[in-house]
Amino acid sequence: MEKLNKTEQEWKAQLSSEAYYVTRQKGTERAFTGEFWDHRATGIYHCVCCRTPLFASDTKFDAGCGWPSYFEAIDSALIVEHIDRSHGMVRTEVLCRTCDAHLGHVFPDGPPPTGLRYCINSASLVFEPIDA
């Protein structure tokens, strides 16, 4: 898997200001405001920075938290997890392995079969529908 490296200027030119803030500066969109928090179409959610496929719609669930939530990634090798001690909390940050985009966090309070809740910012994703 080839790592995608771009300058900050290249990222700024490619991304919206919100996507840049979330993915490159480890920001967070406000709850219940992102494009995909209540999105129900069938398809694949890709990294907004590099288009790596990350989450499938059949793993998406309503966690009631205001962000898109998934119980598993398409392939765990496509994401990286790091301990995040920011904001006086200890959480597990989720990054895209291909481009190091900040996606959100993962928590151990999700539904079966994994028990995980990938709480992901809409601004870090683009959606590709699949015809049913």
CA-based angle 113:64:21, to the nearest 5? 100
Distance CA 62, CA 65 (A): 8
Structure tokens at 22: 């979330």
Q: Would you please indicate which residues are annotated as catalytic (active-site) residues?
A: 119
CB atoms inside a 10 Å sphere around CB 95: 19
Per-residue b or e along 63-94, where b marks 16 or more CB atoms closer than 10 Å to that residue's CB = beeebbbbbbbbeeebbeeeeeeeeeeebebb
Distance CA 30, CA 84 (A): 19
